[in-house]
Amino acid sequence: MIEVDHLCKRYGKSLAVDDVTFTVRPGMITGFLGPNGAGKSTTMRMILGLDQPTSGTVLINGRRLRDSPAPMAEIGALLDARAVDKGRSARNHLRQLGALIGVDDRRVDDVLATVGLSDVADQAAGSFSLGMGQRLGIAAALLADPAVVLLDEPVNGLDPDGIRWLRTFLRTLADDGRAVFLSSHLMSEMELTADHLIIIGRGRLLADVAMTDFIDQASTGHVEVSTPRANLLAEVLAADDVTITKIDDVTLGVVGRPAAAIGAISLAHNIVLHSLTARQPSLEEAYMALTGDAAEHRARPTVLENAA
């Protein structure tokens, strides 16, 4: 378990992390989200004891990491998978790390098998693809069998097979009772992977919420309907409690009426429909709605901006 309590980090005049409190619980995957510069990496580095907080505390499994006789058995981390000696084999890299923390060669072979690197364990880490490098980084994080696993952007650069592998693998870690904490900018993947979300923006906590609750609360679900008579359909659907957005010449986005009602209204007015799709709110939509003001640098939105 990670307990972050009133954590602050000041760089000069700016507060990179501003009074953040949350808990990462065992047995589940907690996603850490926030726009660029929100303070995720700074928070993760303070959790790992790599940066000192300006104020506030972090407890790992109930105590400060520096008070633990075996920090790597408390929390294993993947911060930068490229931070390995490229000339050394994967097995030797892990053995050297293992020697430092009192882990034997058998455990090294076990974690190599766990992450699917047994067959290439004697190849130089420098010859590894990005995905293999990520697996090696995860193997290193698991070496001392920690109760907490922290991964900063582990999906970065993985191909679809690697992403799917990681998703399943993280679930296994959580099912084994570990607390898994990961950051990612890939919303669709986070939606498939995490059970719980911690969201920060401009250093402040914006949400600490179950994934399903967060998506359900977002009132961004809409129906997409396409018809060659889009203007007429927009007219007959118009009402105070309905919002209609013109996505293109033949497609409307409708909030406020279910697909069945839109189908019935279209039929009543003899409007031919080419498609009618209820779109569930996604994590991405819910996240964008929450963090809109918190993004440091925001491109102009392109989704549903062509209001009819």
Ligand X SMILES: Nc1ncnc2c1ncn2[C@@H]1O[C@H](COP(=O)(O)OP(=O)(O)OP(=O)(O)O)[C@@H](O)[C@H]1O
Cβ 34 to ligand X shortest distance, Å:
5
Q: Residues, the chain, total?
A: 308
- Of 7, 16, 75, 198, the one binding ligand X by CB under 6 A: 16
Closer residue to ligand X, CB minimum distance, 10 or 167? 10
Q: Which stretch binds ligand X (CB under 6 A): 31-39, 66-74, 189-197, 243-251?
A: 31-39
**Any contact of residue 222 with ligand X (CB under 6 A)?**
no
Closer residue to ligand X, CB minimum distance, 11 or 267? 11
Supply 38's token pair: 């929100």
**Any contact of residue 184 with ligand X (CB under 6 A)?**
no
Cβ 14 to ligand X shortest distance, Å:
6
- Of 7, 28, 33, 40, the one binding ligand X by CB under 6 A: 40
- Of 42, 193, 227, 266, the one binding ligand X by CB under 6 A: 42
| Contacts for 138 with CB less than 8 Å, ≥ 6 apart | 78, 115, 151, 154, 166, 169
Give 10-55 as a 3 state SS string. Answer: EECCEEEEEEEEEEECCCEEEEEECCCCCCHHHHHHHHCCCCCCCE
How far apart CA 96 and CA 104 sit, in angstroms, is 10
Return the closest-CA partner of residue 36 out of 202, 224, 273, 246.
Answer: 202
Cβ 194 to ligand X shortest distance, Å:
16
- Of 6, 11, 122, 159, the one binding ligand X by CB under 6 A: 11
Count Cβ atoms below 10 Å from residue 16 Cβ, excluding itself.
21
**Any contact of residue 39 with ligand X (CB under 6 A)?**
yes
Cβ 271 to ligand X shortest distance, Å:
45
Cβ 143 to ligand X shortest distance, Å:
25
The answer to whether the CB of 46 falls within 8 A of the CB of 58 is yes
Closer residue to ligand X, CB minimum distance, 128 or 181? 181
Q: Which stretch binds ligand X (CB under 6 A): 38-46, 141-149, 157-165, 254-262?
A: 38-46
| Contacts for 50 with CB less than 8 Å, ≥ 6 apart | none
Supply 18's token pair: 């501003």
Q: Characterize the bridge pairing of strands 28-33 and 179-183.
A: parallel
The answer to whether the CB of 199 falls within 8 A of the CB of 34 is yes
Return the closest-CA partner of residue 117 out of 101, 94, 100.
Answer: 94
**Any contact of residue 2 with ligand X (CB under 6 A)?**
no
Which residues would be at the binding site for ligand X (CB under 6 A)?
Answer: 11, 16, 34, 36-42
